[in-house]
């Protein structure tokens, strides 16, 4: 199978992430696609120390990439709507498939771009344009294809969500948190796009179009930022059982379509109310499935690259595979499935919750601690309650560190064999699930 | 464009949902696919009052469907692993594409089925087999195709999650909640598959295979149910800052692969710890994107049908569209985009949070209430604080019912013009986001 040739235009944060992901996961991506994906050329005004482009040719004139007859897929990662628009339209005119992460370009010039692409018979994919690494475009265009979408509401600007989260959790005021976000690199020096909701409006317009089947209409979005949210309102909202989130909301009913970005009080018990920091999430309400939610990082080098490369894989699959075998049954082609062994349960490593009923007398706890310590297991947390009146046994609850199951089980057996321990020791595994 | 012809085998809960969704959303699905999708035959031992099959021929021998030369896609919704296996293998042998919601069949016989399908050049799709309406298979096979998946953890059995949620929220014990779940229809008369983790193990095996690119290995899953979880442990976990969830966990490292289903303590601040009731969620940690989470209903007639029909749409798109135009840019084909109008912001309907600074004297609150009442707006919640010492104004905070923005804004203007109101009235929209 001939390799699929990709040209990357722009080698900033997302461009270098895209190059690095394609290089690092080249083998597994090939097993998924059934063909190799090769970066044949990069167009970038300057190098980026975050990525070693090796012997891939780098053109200083990015337009060389869209004119390179070798290239199948042009990946536009330069941002902005002037040069990027020219670049994408020329790529399309030259019969290239296009992948872009450019929300402003799609929101403002998507109708023109898609018309040109339709005429040329090429695809334009833009998963990375909305909510970074969350595959929300694919979910809406394909995963929910059975449905009429009724509404969607998204936390689709990580900077804004970081600011509101800090205001609520730490009682800090808007200006203070914004300054920190800028120092951390979450917010631009000019934060207007983020805090005034323009970035979210770009993304909302794209989501609404693919949810409802309407042309892109950026000029029709009502947009209100978070600059006037005070800690006072954050606190009153909490008192009423709500959180303030900066949402993009799109709704469709018989009267028409709502497209609006604004701060919103939402009940604190909703899952989306608990999406904090720079994370993004989109809640979609559709007629057949009901509510579904998609959560993940909305920005960053490799999270965004994850979506860019998924789009490249999508196009590569249509270019190389039989349509009927576009996506392998188990994601990877049958002849590439691995025989990596499945571990026995006693080889896994996890932390443990233990509850036991111990005789209420001196020395028992130290016996238990000794057994665990001899097995190399440390105690991370402990609850020991006073015995109920007239009872001679007390409940002892422990959380251990992460350890090998075999070691834990053998220690538990020893604990159970102590005269001072009544009944079986209750064991439940503990996982931090830290991202 | 010729219509794509579907045969539905099985007309139970999911079968009737599939028929109904295809019928109700036929027009919008056609705008997505570019071709009509027609149910050409149903195979069902008996009719189902939940669905009016009209003049669609119904065969009492379901094998008639897989032998019907007209049919392109066989949808297997009979469940079980004996007849279903024969049915699917015969459909494949006859060159039909297959869509199934049958987790047991895929987990236990998937390797055999995919080998046969590969040989015949047909697709087998099974989105509905895991987590009902959540498009998690698509996310893993396509949306995260750039990534090496490191681990995933899922609440993939709604019955189990309902039981654990009730135990925590209401202090009820396992047996009591199980009996209610059976009465509500969430749990089967024989609840073994749900509460012993077998159903979750089926789903986990499928998720792990497409995450890591390994054959299906149902016999290698470690499975522990929730029958021994006591309210005592639920409460101690909470005291330690954790929730107990029944998780399917798959992890891949250099040593091997972990496949395990068991009750697990997870930190209560994790989003997945807050997935309650019958809802499902899968948290995936992958190298490029980091953590992403997918949430939605894991069972039910139309939620499951949503995934079945998405699979049908997927196959139909490969059968009818040019590969390069498989998925339209904006989800619907360009010539079907609708001119449904976008509403002006003053036409939207939403609830409102209002905060004002009111003179601390009798009658002010009644003036405010009167203005709102005259505008047809009711007050759903109210906070009035005592004035700070020496201050003559008090903060008044209101939540209104859902009203038209125009009416609200005009009422707010009147309130602002009162002598007793200082400064501007702060207005923030409120959305319940109820699913």
Instruction: Give me the CATH number covering residue A247.
Output: 3.30.360.10
B120, B144: one domain: no
Maximum alpha-carbon separation in chain A: 87
- What's the confidence (pLDDT) of residue A111? 96
| Closest C-alpha among A220, A283, A185, A176 to residue B134 | A283
Whether residue B169 is contained in a domain is answered as: yes
Which of residues 274 through 293 in chain A touch B, CB cutoff 8 A?
Answer: 274-275, 283, 285-293
**Taking CB atoms and an 8 Å limit, are B145 and A247 in contact across chains?**
no
> Considering its fold, how many domains does chain B have in total?
3
- What's the confidence (pLDDT) of residue B275? 97
A276, A299, A322 — which closes off a domain? A299
Whether residue B183 is contained in a domain is answered as: yes
- What's the confidence (pLDDT) of residue B188? 78
| CA contacts within 13 A on the Cβ side of B326 | 24
A53, A152: one domain: no
* Beta strand pairing call for A124-125 and A149-155: unpaired
Whether residue A435 is contained in a domain is answered as: no
Element (H, E) at A203: helix A198-212
B182, B292: one domain: yes
* Beta strand pairing call for A58-59 and A73-76: unpaired
> How far lies A316's CA from each of A34, A128, A147, A326, B389, in Å?
9, 17, 27, 9, 70
Tokens of A297: 């990082």
Supply the CATH number for residue A13's domain. 3.40.50.720
* Beta strand pairing call for B149-155 and B124-125: unpaired
**Taking CB atoms and an 8 Å limit, are A274 and B275 in contact across chains?**
no
A241, A323: one domain: no
Q: How far apart (Å, rounded) are the C-alpha atoms in residues A60 and B150?
A: 37
Which of residues 330 through 359 in chain B touch A, CB cutoff 8 A?
Answer: 330-332, 334, 336-343, 345, 347-348, 353, 355
- B188 among annotated binding-site residues: yes
- What's the confidence (pLDDT) of residue B250? 98
B306, B162: one domain: no
A312, A336, A360 — which closes off a domain? A336
A269, A310: one domain: no
* Beta strand pairing call for B349-359 and B403-404: antiparallel
**Domain hosting residue B392, numbered range:** 345-430
Within 8 A of B240 by CB-CB distance, chain A residues are 353, 381, 383, 397, 399
Annotated binding residues of A for L-homoserine, written as ranges, equal 188
List b or e across A223-241, with b for residues whose CB sees 16 or more CB atoms inside 10 angstroms: bbbbbebebebbebbeebe
Sequential pLDDT tens for chain A (435 residues): 789 999 999 999 999 999 999 999 999 999 999 999 999 999 999 999 999 999 999 999 999 999 999 999 999 999 999 999 999 999 999 999 999 999 999 999 999 999 999 999 999 999 999 999 999 999 999 999 999 999 999 999 999 999 999 999 999 999 999 999 889 887 777 899 999 999 999 999 999 999 999 999 999 999 999 999 999 999 999 999 999 999 999 999 999 999 999 999 999 999 999 999 999 999 999 999 999 999 999 999 999 999 999 999 999 998 987 777 788 999 999 889 999 999 999 999 999 999 999 998 888 999 999 999 999 999 999 999 888 788 889 999 999 999 999 999 999 999 999 999 988 999 999 999 998
Whether residue A393 is contained in a domain is answered as: yes
> Is A203 one of the annotated active-site residues of the chain?
yes
Which residues are registered as beta bridge partners of B421?
Answer: B358
SS3 label, residue A225: coil
Which residues are registered as beta bridge partners of A26?
Answer: none
Mean pLDDT rounded to a whole number for chain B: 95
Whether residue B165 is contained in a domain is answered as: yes
B255, B205: one domain: yes
Whether residue A188 is contained in a domain is answered as: yes
Name, in order, each residue with C-beta under 8 angstroms of B323's C-beta and a sequence gap of 6 or more.
A318, A319, A323, A326
Average pLDDT over residues B55-75: 97
Within 8 A of B433 by CB-CB distance, chain A residues are 153, 266-267, 270, 272, 283
CA distance B124 to chain A (A): 7
A235, A170: one domain: yes
- What's the confidence (pLDDT) of residue A187? 79
Pick the residue from chain B with its C-alpha nearest to A349: B258
A326 in contact with B, Cβ within 8 Å: yes
Supply the CATH number for residue B372's domain. 3.30.70.260
Q: Which among B260, B270, B274 has CB closest to A348? A: B260
Helical H segments across B292-404, by residue range = 301-320, 364-374
| CA contacts within 13 A on the Cβ side of B391 | 12
Name, in order, each residue with C-beta under 8 angstroms of A58's C-beta and a sequence gap of 6 or more.
A11, A41, A42, A43, A44, A47
A271, A326: one domain: no
- What's the confidence (pLDDT) of residue A24? 98
| Closest C-alpha among B168, B273, B160 to residue B230 | B168
Whether residue B318 is contained in a domain is answered as: yes
Q: How far apart (Å, rounded) are the C-alpha atoms in residues A322 and A319?
A: 9
What ipTM, to 2 d.p.? 0.96
* Beta strand pairing call for B58-59 and B37-43: parallel
Element (H, E) at A303: helix A301-320
DSSP string, B310-329: HHHHHHHHHHHS-GGGSS-T
A223, A159: one domain: yes
**Per-residue confidence at B424, pLDDT binned at 50, 70, 90?**
very high
Q: What is the pLDDT of residues B257-312, one digit of tens each?
A: 999 999 999 999 999 999 999 999 999 999 999 999 999 999 999 999 999 999 99
Average pLDDT over residues B303-326: 90
Whether residue B435 is contained in a domain is answered as: no
Q: How far apart (Å, rounded) are the C-alpha atoms in residues B212 and B150?
A: 8
**Per-residue confidence at B187, pLDDT binned at 50, 70, 90?**
confident
**Contact at 8 Å (CB) between B434 and A290?**
no
Which of residues 206 through 245 in chain A touch B, CB cutoff 8 A?
Answer: 209-217, 220, 222, 228-230, 232-233, 236-237, 239-240, 242, 244
**Taking CB atoms and an 8 Å limit, are B289 and A275 in contact across chains?**
no
CA distance A164 to chain B (A): 14
B251, B177: one domain: yes
| Closest C-alpha among A56, A315, A71, A20 to residue B147 | A20
Q: Does residue B325 register a pLDDT over 80? A: no
A197 in contact with B, Cβ within 8 Å: no
Q: Which of A5, A96, A138, A203 is catalytic?
A: A203
| Closest C-alpha among B304, B253, B368, B290 to residue B137 | B304
Pick the residue from chain A with its C-alpha nearest to B216: A330
Give the E-state strand segments of B69-126 in sequence order: 73-76, 97-100, 124-125
Burial of B95 per CB tally in 10 Å (0-12, 13-18, 19+): exposed
Residue of B37 and B363 predicted with greater confidence: B37
> How far lies A414's CA from each of A55, A352, A358, B371, in Å?
60, 16, 14, 74
Q: How far apart (Å, rounded) are the C-alpha atoms in residues B391 and B357?
A: 11
B158, B41: one domain: no
């Amino acid at each position: 199978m001939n390799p699929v040739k990709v040209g990357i235009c722009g080698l900033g944060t997302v461009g270098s992430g895209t190059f690095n992901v394609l290089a690092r996961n080249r083998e597994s991506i090939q097993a998924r696609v059934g063909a190799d994906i090769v970066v044949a050329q990069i167009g970038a005004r300057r190098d980026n120390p975050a990525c070693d482009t090796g012997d891939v040719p780098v053109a200083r004139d990015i337009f060389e990439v869209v004119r390179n007859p070798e290239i199948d897929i042009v990946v536009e990662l330069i941002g902005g709507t002037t040069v990027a628009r020219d670049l994408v339209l020329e790529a399309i005119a030259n019969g290239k498939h296009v992948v872009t992460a450019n929300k402003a370009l799609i929101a403002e010039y998507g109708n023109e771009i898609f018309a040109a692409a339709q005429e040329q018979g090429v695809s334009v994919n833009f998963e990375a344009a909305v909510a970074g690494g969350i595959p929300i475009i694919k979910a809406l265009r394909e995963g929910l294809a059975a449905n009429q979408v009724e509404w969607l509401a998204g936390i689709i600007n990580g900077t804004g969500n970081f600011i509101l989260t800090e205001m609520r959790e730490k009682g800090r005021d808007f200006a203070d948190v914004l300054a920190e976000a800028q120092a951390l690199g979450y917010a631009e020096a000019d934060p207007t796009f983020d805090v005034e909701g323009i970035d979210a409006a770009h993304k909302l317009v794209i989501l609404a179009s693919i949810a409802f089947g309407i042309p892109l209409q950026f000029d029709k979005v009502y947009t209100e930022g978070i600059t006037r949210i005070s800690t006072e309102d954050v606190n009153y909202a909490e008192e009423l059982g709500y959180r303030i989130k900066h949402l993009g909301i799109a709704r469709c009913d018989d009267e028409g379509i709502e497209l609006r970005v604004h701060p919103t009080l939402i009940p604190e018990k909703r899952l989306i109310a608990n999406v904090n920091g720079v994370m993004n999430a989109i809640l979609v309400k559709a007629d057949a499935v009901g509510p579904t939610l998609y959560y993940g990082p909305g920005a960053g080098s490799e999270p965004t690259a994850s979506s860019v490369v998924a789009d490249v894989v999508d196009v590569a699959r249509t270019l190389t595979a039989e349509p009927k075998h576009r996506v392998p049954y188990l994601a990877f082609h049958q002849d590439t499935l691995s025989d990596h062994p499945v571990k026995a349960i006693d080889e896994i490593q996890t932390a443990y919750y233990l509850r036991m009923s111990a005789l209420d007398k001196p020395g028992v706890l130290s016996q238990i601690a000794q057994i665990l310590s001899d097995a190399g297991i440390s105690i991370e947390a402990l609850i020991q309650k006073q015995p109920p009146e007239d009872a001679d046994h007390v409940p002892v609850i422990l959380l251990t560190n992460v350890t090998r199951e075999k070691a834990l089980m053998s220690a538990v057996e020893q604990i159970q064999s102590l005269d001072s321990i009544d009944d079986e020791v209750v064991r439940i595994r503990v996982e931090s699930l830290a991202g």
